[in-house]
Amino acid sequence: MRKPGKMLKLALGSAGKKPATVPYPYKKLAMPDRFRGKIAADSAKCIGCKLCMRDCPSAAITINKVGEKRFEVEIDLGKCIYCAQCCDSCNKGVLSITPEYELAQLDKKKFKVIYPNAGSPEDTPKEP
């Protein structure tokens, strides 16, 4: 039936109910388990095959050689599109997805995250 003001009941009813807004940042919603946030890496398992570098759509991941058969993973969070293709391409389980998504930075240099190879103590740890 056509009449003006069909939304009247819904509008008046909503005025008494709790609003549907989530007051971020005081209250944060939990992300589902499969959510693709920041990529984490365990550089000790990396064998340097560079399949992840080949498949990354935006050239965000780099594998650096830091010693004899030892590699470390460097991810540029600004270039990464969080597609997790690198995690699928890696055969050794080095890369994994975390649900972290609040990654904004004021300093562009802080986007380059290096996951040091936790192994021999003579390597200097680099600041993420």
Instruction: Classify residue 87 by its DSSP letter.
Output: H
Q: Name the residue type at position 98.
A: T
Looking at 10-18, 42-50, 60-68, 71-79, which segment touches another protein (CB under 8 A)? 10-18
Contact mark string toward another protein, 51..90, x via CB under 8 A: ---xxxx-----------------------xxxxx--x--
**11 or 104, CB closer to another protein?**
11
**66 or 83, CB closer to another protein?**
83
What DSSP string runs through 35-66? Answer: ----EEE-GGG-----HHHHH-TT--EEEEEE
